Amino acid sequence: MKISVIGGGYVGLVSAVCFAQLGHTVGLIEIDIDRASSISRGSPQIYEKGLEALLSKHLEKSLHVSTAYDAIPDTEIFFICVGTPEGDNGHPDLSMIQSACQSLGRSLIDMDSYHVVVVKSTVPPGTTEGLVVPTVLEHSQRAGDEIGFCMNPEFLREGRAVEDFMHPDRIVIGSNDSRAGDWAESAYRGIEAPIVRTGIKSAEMIKYASNAFLATKISFANEIGNLCKRLGIDVYEVMEGVGMDHRISPHFLDAGAGFGGSCFPKDLSALIHLAEGMNEEPLILRSVQNVNERQPARMLELLQKKIGSLEGKRIAVLGLAFKNDTDDVRQSRSIPVILSLREMGARIAAYDPRANDNMKKMIHDIEYCSRATDALRDADACLLMTEWPEFGLLDEEFDLMKNRVIIEGRRILSCQDKEGICW
């Protein structure tokens, strides 16, 4: 098939290279010139396991990058993969969706064959039918039955996005007419996974509900963990026993500093605001958010209990990325920790194997170290924020500290004299 992917961020770029890997001819449309040119050179600005190898395999063969909407003139399916970042008051900012639909519509004006437009971006229920369909139709001046529309949410985890694309648990395709849905389905031919066909709004909601449920599992584990801590119980032992019930599953029950990243916090906020806008009280969702926001503060409470005032103290912060295997620091739990430490007068020495540069763009006035040992040297305490496997091996390196005060926000360290925040 001939596929165009609009947007060269995490989702768009991964989807484009994976569609090329499935044997399609793919055009990637990225209007940001810097981002497009680094993708064209084979070195994307994001780090994602396996991505560069696939990109260089297909670049200029079955994958073409363009800053205009003419990359693949006879495209059959367009996948809209632009960002929907958190906007004012927690509502997602849909301006990129809107302008992508306008440009896409204009590029379809002179075409007379059938096309399918698939929304992959995460959008609130009702957006595809209420914004995407009318905008594309208006700007293309085409009749409703000449363009099919689908909603096909992505469930890609950063760091494992290529693997998740090629081996998903399910592929959800929401459409209001079966021809469009069949076309979208055939783009995934070659992938072995159950296909779930739904209406468009259901597909939009499946994405939000999935992320909200996973976030709920994490906050639940954290709340139980906080109780466990008071009772001298290991929450990891508890959750192992809980997760063996197949109705619960063992995944996303790791207690600690809470969830970050570009999806969970944003999607949770969007769902809460959607509910509030309809005068529904999102009681569970709000609690999930509250528990998550409290976890970093609990780390600092524990730290103060151990070493007293933080004024002038050197604190090593290990891990800046919102999770391991990524350089992404968006909504990372290390951000509120660093900001509070700074406010309390601490001197911060931070280290992350991949994310130092990204965090530097956000917070400049702390010390960034190129090795964990540099951050630990002469530190009064260490806070562990990201589950990088390399941290699991640290032990005698902590002897470089003034005192071995080690507080773990992710269960990864193997040394014995650490203290977990909720276990």
Nearest CB to ligand UDX, comparing residues 175 and 332: 332
- Would you give the DSSP letter of residue 157? P
Decide whether 65 or 421 has the Cβ nearer to ligand UDX: 421
Site string for ligand UDX, 317-356 (x = CB under 6 A): -----xx---------------------------------
Residue 256 binding ligand UDX, by CB under 6 A: yes
The identity of residue 159, as a single letter, is G
Q: Tell me how far, at minimum, the Cβ of 252 lies from ligand UDX, in Å.
A: 4
In the complex, what is the shortest distance from the CB of residue 335 to ligand UDX, in angstroms, rounded to a whole number? Answer: 12
Catalytic residue among 101, 263, 382, 422: 263
Query: If residue 387 lies in a helix (H) or strand (E), which one and from where to where?
Result: none
Q: Is 155 in the site for ligand UDX (CB under 6 A)?
A: yes
Binding status of residue 254 toward ligand UDX by CB under 6 A: yes
- The reply, when asked if residue 253 is annotated as ligand binding, is yes
| Nearest in space to 39 (alpha carbons), one of 63, 69, 75 | 63
From residue 332, give the alpha-carbon distance in Å to each of 74, 100, 103, 328, 386: 41, 29, 34, 8, 9
Map residue 4 onto helix, strand or coil: strand
The answer to whether 256 is annotated as binding is yes
Burial class (CB in 10 A: 0-12, 13-18, 19+), 252: middle
φ, ψ of residue 78 to 5 degrees: the values are -110, 130
The Cα–Cα gap between 294 and 225 comes to 13
Which residue number, 104 or 412, has a Cβ lying nearer to ligand UDX?
412
Residues 193-212 that bind ligand UDX (CB under 6 A): 211
Residue 41 within binding range of ligand UDX, rule CB under 6 A: no
CA dist 192 and 414 (Å) reads 38
Whether the Cβ atoms of residue 79 and residue 6 lie closer than 8 Å to each other: yes
Closest CB to ligand UDX among residues 71, 383: 383
Evaluate the CA torsion angle 422, 408, 214, 167 in order and state its sign.
Answer: negative
d(CA 119, CA 127): 10
CB of 158 to ligand UDX, least distance (A): 3
Contacts to ligand UDX from residues 260-289, by CB under 6 A: 260-261, 263-264
Q: Residue 151 Cβ, how far from ligand UDX at the closest point, in Å?
A: 14
Q: How many residues bind ligand UDX (CB under 6 A)?
A: 20
CA-based max dimension of the chain: 73
User: Does residue number 218 form part of the binding site for ligand UDX (CB under 6 A)?
Assistant: yes
Is there a binding annotation on residue 158?
yes
Q: How far is the CB of 247 from ligand UDX (least distance, A)?
A: 17
Residue closer to ligand UDX, measured from CB, 61 or 157: 157
Its sign, for the CA torsion 303, 308, 311, 315, is negative
**Which one-letter DSSP state was computed for residue 397?**
G
Stretch that binds ligand UDX, among 58-66, 96-104, 250-258, 397-405 (CB under 6 A): 250-258
Whether the Cβ atoms of residue 28 and residue 8 lie closer than 8 Å to each other? yes
Q: Is 260 annotated as a binding residue?
A: yes
What is the token pair recorded at 215? 């976030």
**What does the block give as tokens for 101?**
């639909």
Stretch that binds ligand UDX, among 48-56, 154-162, 190-198, 281-289 (CB under 6 A): 154-162
Q: Which residue has the tokens 């395999």?
A: 57
> Of the ranges 156-164, 192-200, 223-231, 270-278, which one interacts with ligand UDX (CB under 6 A)?
156-164
Which 3 state secondary structure label does DSSP give 11?
helix
Three-state SS for 64? Answer: strand
> Interface with ligand UDX includes 259 (CB under 6 A)?
yes
Q: Single out the residue of 30, 48, 86, 154 in contact with ligand UDX (rule: CB under 6 A).
A: 154
Closest to 122 measured CA to CA, from 17, 261, 254, 293: 261
Q: One-letter amino acid identity for 396?
A: E
Three-state SS at 269: helix
Question: What number of H helices and E strands is found in the chain?
Answer: 16, 14
252 binds ligand UDX (CB under 6 A): yes
CB of 30 to ligand UDX, least distance (A): 20
- Whether residue 263 lies in the annotated active site: yes
- Applying CB under 6 A, among 36, 54, 184, 253 the residue interacting with ligand UDX is 253
CB of 310 to ligand UDX, least distance (A): 24
Positions touching ligand UDX (CB under 6 A) are 154-158, 211, 214, 218, 252-254, 256, 258-261, 263-264, 322-323
Would you list which residues are annotated within the binding site for NAD(+)?
Answer: 35, 84, 122, 158, 266, 330
Residues recognised as catalytic = 263
Q: Which residues are annotated as a binding site for substrate?
A: 155-158, 207, 252-256, 260, 323
